[in-house]
Amino acid sequence: MYYYSLRGEAIDRREAPPPPKEAAAEKVDGSPQPQPQAELRLRLPAEIDWDRLDKWRFFVLGAGLFSAVSTALYPAVVLKTRLQVAPPLAHAAASSLPPSAAAAATAILRSEGPLAFYRGFATSLAGTVPARALYMGALEATRSAVGPTALALGAPEPVASAAAGAAAGLAAAVAAQVVWTPVDVISQRLMVQGNPCPASRYRGGLDAFRKIVAADGLRGLYRGFGMSILTYAPSNAVWWATYSLSQKTIWSGIGCYLCEYGVGVQEIDAGEGDSSLQPGYKTVMVVQGVSAAMAGGASALVTMPLDTIKTRMQVMDGEGGEPITVGRTVRRLIKEGGWGACYRGLGPRWASMSLSATTMITTYEFLKRLSAKGHESSLP
């Protein structure tokens, strides 16, 4: 049996399985027992730390790659937002938006056309580049600092890895929201154009910016900033911690299988008779993608009520001129549909976050390898 560490150190598992019966059986005529084969170890590619990245290449390539991913996933975000601010079911006759995700998507496509799924996309894309730069910078810098510190303090490697992921996700979310909250406010207002809930109508991102600032000042652009932090900070902490633990769980389940049957691995000669098995890059990406999907689904389920409250605070206006607060938003939401209303749009958000997480993490890990100093040697 074989074990490993996600930072590339190979560790032998003490309890080896019994040899096959054919190997254990004695040969006739007193022939010698077959010599046991040398134990191989599964060695994963080492983590690429912040200091090893070419920062310029990392941010420039990241802007292009993540913009392409955001383009593909944007319709699911629009559908989720529409469902979250939809009128209560008791007044569904006055709404063009049916309650189910599939019916809502069909209704939007029929009444507003396919471009409705890309309303606010230009504004969102413009904010993606600086927000992602802040996110990735804070993520890598924090993870590279917390992980070694936790190990130096004597924490076990799995605990140190999960703690580094949680701290990095928390710091990255807070840094990104400085840019992303105004972009979110504007783009979500544009997403729901045609939905009868919001009273305002905008001709584009700049028009929405001017009207929001004219009505509420700069505070209007940061409406729901506190809820955004409360939503995305724990969401990212849960995501990165779950992602780290999911990888370890998956590798512990299939690592022995890969070594036993040589599936998706190649033997690496380390010299002096020492050799190990290294999984191929495609195998590593599959494990990372599955781990990301598991983490995305868990994060979506845990933080869905917070995301619904945040979205309604950023998009909907108060009743009777009352200021928008968390308490009033929650009471209004529960009055409309009970606690179940907090999970409106869970299906699209679950699918979006799982698919986004899978796509983003494989893109992100590929980006890190492309951006590593001397990256030609980092790619198999």
pLDDT of the chain along its 380 residues, tens only?
Answer: 333 333 334 434 334 445 444 444 444 455 555 444 445 566 666 666 667 777 777 777 777 777 887 888 899 889 888 888 876 544 444 444 445 788 888 888 998 889 889 998 999 888 887 888 888 888 888 988 898 898 899 888 878 888 888 898 889 888 989 998 999 899 988 888 765 544 457 888 899 999 999 988 888 899 888 888 888 888 888 888 888 788 888 887 776 666 666 666 666 665 555 666 677 777 788 888 888 888 888 888 888 888 888 888 888 766 666 777 888 888 888 887 787 788 888 888 888 777 777 877 777 777 777 777 665 444 44
The CA distances from residue 20 to 13, 23, 31, 40, in Å, are 18, 5, 18, 17
Whether residue 170 is contained in a domain is answered as yes
> Do 251 and 191 lie in a common domain?
no
* Tally of domains within the chain: 2
> Do 241 and 138 lie in a common domain?
no
> Do 184 and 256 lie in a common domain?
no
> Do 201 and 312 lie in a common domain?
no
> Do 131 and 182 lie in a common domain?
yes
- For residue 231, what pLDDT is reported? 80
Which of the 8 DSSP states describes residue 117?
A: G
Helix pair angle (281-315, 346-371), 10° resolution: 130
d(CA 70, CA 135): 15
> Do 147 and 248 lie in a common domain?
no
> Do 195 and 334 lie in a common domain?
no
- For residue 210, what pLDDT is reported? 92
List the one residue out of 35, 31, 38, 48 whose CA is nearest residue 12: 38
- For residue 118, what pLDDT is reported? 92
Whether residue 20 is contained in a domain is answered as no
Whether residue 330 is contained in a domain is answered as yes
- For residue 320, what pLDDT is reported? 63
Whether residue 80 is contained in a domain is answered as no
What is the residue type of 164?
Answer: A
Looking at 175, 198, 222, the residue that finishes a domain is: 222
> Do 218 and 235 lie in a common domain?
no
Whether residue 317 is contained in a domain is answered as yes
Whether residue 133 is contained in a domain is answered as yes
Whether residue 254 is contained in a domain is answered as yes
d(CA 37, CA 2): 14
Whether residue 324 is contained in a domain is answered as yes
> Do 246 and 356 lie in a common domain?
yes
d(CA 28, CA 256): 32
The CA distances from residue 206 to 120, 183, 202, in Å, are 11, 11, 9
The CA distances from residue 42 to 196, 211, 262, 360, 380, in Å, are 58, 59, 11, 26, 16
> Do 235 and 368 lie in a common domain?
yes
> Do 284 and 348 lie in a common domain?
yes
- For residue 308, what pLDDT is reported? 87
> Do 216 and 231 lie in a common domain?
no
List the one residue out of 366, 222, 340 whose CA is nearest residue 281: 366
| Domain assignment of residue 132, given as a range | 119-222
